Amino acid sequence: MSKTVFLFPGQGAQAIGMGEAFYNEFPVAREVFEMADEITKSHLTRLCFKGPMEDLTRTVNLQPAITAVNLALFASLKSVGGDGFDVACGHSLGEYAALSAAEVLRPEDALWLVKRRGELMDEQAMKYKGAMAAVMRMAMADVEGLAEEIREAGAPFYKGVWAANHNADGQIVVSGDPESVKRFGEEAKGRGGRAIPLKVSGAWHSPLIQGAQKPFAMELESVNFAAPKKEVVFNVSAKSEEDPQVMRENMSRQLVNPVKWHDTMMRLVEEGATRFVEVGPGRVLSGIARKLPEARDFEIYNIATLDDLEGWMRAR
């Protein structure tokens, strides 16, 4: 049986003005943004709509901001009957919106958790300066091998470089301290690859931020996780899970472990997914889906604008 998958983006999808049209059109979207302002005790809505980008992209602001937009768009979809899906997946931060869509987390709990997640990650980034780079033209095994070589060359504890995201074949992100990431780029060039530095404030999905894991695990324990109403495939395992405690552990591990997005997409294809709908700002995840060898057999949609929503409702 064909499956419909809702994909929720994470950091990197942001744009000034994201979600504003939905805020103006749908009362349920306004409720989400007002909730986000209250939970963060900030003018998060104004930051999403007006910027400045420099403030929006600070991880303490960006994590609740993107989550608010993801949740507001999903709530808008739901209000017009457009939320029919079989599986929910989110890329890194986007996993919290996926858990809310599957009714594992209440929207307010998802927003609280990403607020704390952003704060704790930012604290670690202040302690251990980090960098990330997108790697092109290298297989995952080669990226992992080169990263291990650099770590074994004598980098002290809490320094080094690791594979952080496996988004697609030939599209991988590495994370680590700036010197190690720079060295990785130099070595990759000599092996036919290319590493493009990313504008980030920390070494996400690496041991450099493992100091955030224990306190965040305590935050996760304070929030109710319900059994999912729809299937959720998790970043850390590329597998679905129904046990609330295991889901909590997955979200704790996600902080310092690679995002297995390619494995997730492959699993979904094997299980019969043929319709992918990216719900949130940007078009990163739908773009990855379009590059899969099987993409000619897929229906792929974005819901980032009101026009997108209208197109999706006509196609259903």
Residues carrying an active site annotation: 92, 205
Closest CA to 299 of 4, 95, 19, 98: 4
CA-CA distance, 52 to 152, in Å (whole number)? 41
Q: Where in the chain does DSSP place strands (E)?
A: 3-8, 87-90, 131-136, 161-168, 171-176, 194-197, 231-232, 273-279, 299-303
CA-CA distance, 229 to 191, in Å (whole number)? 46
CA-CA distance, 155 to 183, in Å (whole number)? 12
Closest CA to 35 of 51, 23, 17: 23
Answer yes or no: are the C-beta atoms of 265 and 284 closer than 8 Å: no
CA-CA distance, 163 to 211, in Å (whole number)? 19
Looking up tokens 């987390």, which residue turns up?
Answer: 105
Tokens of 37: 């302002």
The values of phi and psi at residue 146, to 5°, are -65, -40
Q: Is 301 helix (H, G, I), strand (E, B) or coil?
A: strand
Tokens of 6: 């809702």
Contacts of 172 (CB under 8 A, 6+ apart): 134, 135, 138, 140, 143, 163, 165, 166
The values of phi and psi at residue 224, to 5°, are -75, 130
